[in-house]
Amino acid sequence: MQKYFAKVYVSLKPTVNDPQGLTIRGALDNLGYDTVESVRAGKYFQIEIESASERDAAESVEGMCKQLLANPVIEQYDFELTATG
């Protein structure tokens, strides 16, 4: 078994309203960052997993995203996988 490290990025689909992102954009504007055009807020997960192969690890992480980490109705996800020690 090999260890893998996955970085998972979950964000709202582009067509979905993001009130949290709008609020952050407003706060940044108040702080003087007035050239910010948009902010979208999402989730970030760092996952350590043991798998027989990189392919197995990717399949597992894909499954986790679909079943738990992302809501497929309104969210999209992406991940990067690296082999570790």
List all residues 6 or more positions away from 50 whose beta carbon is below 8 Å from its beta carbon.
Answer: 1, 2, 3, 4
Considering the complex, state which of residue 38 and residue 73 has its C-beta at the smaller distance from its own copies.
Answer: 38
Number of amino acids touching its own copies (CB under 8 A):
35
Beta bridge partners of 8: 45, 79
Binding of its own copies at residue 67 (CB under 8 A)? yes
The one among 33, 72, 74, 83 contacting its own copies by CB under 8 A = 33
Distance CA 81, CA 1 (A): 15
Binding of its own copies at residue 47 (CB under 8 A)? yes
The one among 19, 38, 73, 85 contacting its own copies by CB under 8 A = 38
Considering the complex, state which of residue 49 and residue 58 has its C-beta at the smaller distance from its own copies.
Answer: 49
Distance CA 12, CA 10 (A): 7
